[in-house]
Structure 1
Amino acid sequence: MSDELTLSPWTGPWPDDDPDATFKAEVADYNRLDPLHTLRGLSAHTGIPVGGLARYVLARFATTGSGGLLELGPAMVERLREPVRRAEEAGTDEARLAAYRELAGMLSWLAFPLDHPDSYP
């Protein structure tokens, strides 16, 4: 396996019924930018090679989900996933709205310390 990486712009196309269409649209939008412009400037400022910065950015992005799982814990992730699973199984707008309300309540509870930092010593 080679460590070589070519940064090639990609803007599609993809079929309308592609299950990954939302992600692909986001990839296409970000591909309009040149990330090396920012990385070169940061490299010049910090002395870190562009390749080291690119590896950092990719590793940080790629592990964000894992980091979130570690911070929340598997039980909480399953608890957050369950209303969505039930709503998708039911397949109705009412079930999806109920899931939204349930998730909003859980997220409000999780965010309480962020919204009220003085509540905790």
Structure 2
Amino acid sequence: MTQGEWIRLERFDGAWEAHDPDATFKAEVADHGRLDPLHTLRGLSAHTGIPVGALARYVLAKFATTGSSGLLELGPAMVSRLREPVLRAEEAGTDEARLAAYREISGLLGWLAAPLDDPELYP
């Protein structure tokens, strides 16, 4: 999409199979499609003075880059450390390897969450 290109906001209420791996997401898109996002954006625009189009672009970019911003916050080295046990476990293809990966990732997440669990840092 080029800058200034128009997009049409449309509802999605298509049908999907029960075994569709994207069924939950499709149901969410259909549910949220019942709402008028421009109502909120117009109000926010009136309050902030930011054009509706700029707000829509912000919302779309923010949503679309959530994974990327998580990478920036966590850092590529830590993302690789968290991903590596999963890749090893999937390559091994055993429940034992998956359990070992779970334990390794659990330890890493515990280390990352330690500052959040410290009442002195975050009362």
For the criterion TM > 0.5, the same-fold answer is yes
Residue in 2 that maps onto 1:105: 107
- The alignment's TM-score, normalised by the length of structure 2, stands at 0.74
| Count of residue pairs brought into register by the alignment | 120
Residue in 1 that maps onto 2:64: 62
Distance 1:76 1:116 in 2: 21
Task: Give deviations 1:68-97, integer Å, cap 9, x for gaps.
Answer: 212222221122122333444455555545
Q: Per the alignment, do residues 102 and 24 of structure 1 end up closer, same or farther by CA in structure 2, a change over 3 Å counting?
A: farther
Match of 2:25 among 23, 26, 40: 23
Distance 2:68 2:10 in 1: 27
Task: Give deviations 1:91-117, integer Å, cap 9, x for gaps.
Answer: 555554544443333222112222326
Distance 1:27 1:67 in 2: 22
Q: Per the alignment, do residues 33 and 92 of structure 1 end up closer, same or farther by CA in structure 2, a change over 3 Å counting?
A: farther
- The alignment's TM-score, normalised by the length of structure 1, stands at 0.75
How far apart are residue 8 of structure 1 and its match? 0.5
**Which runs of 5 or more structure 1 residues have no equivalent in the other structure?**
none
RMSD, matched Cα: 2.7
Paired residues for 1:70-109 under 5 Å: 70-91=72-93, 95-109=97-111
Task: Give deviations 1:1-59, integer Å, cap 9, x for gaps.
Answer: 56101111113322333333333233233223222221111111112111111011111
Distance 1:104 1:54 in 2: 37
How far apart are residue 63 of structure 1 and its match? 1.9
- Percent of aligned positions with the same letter in both sequences? 76
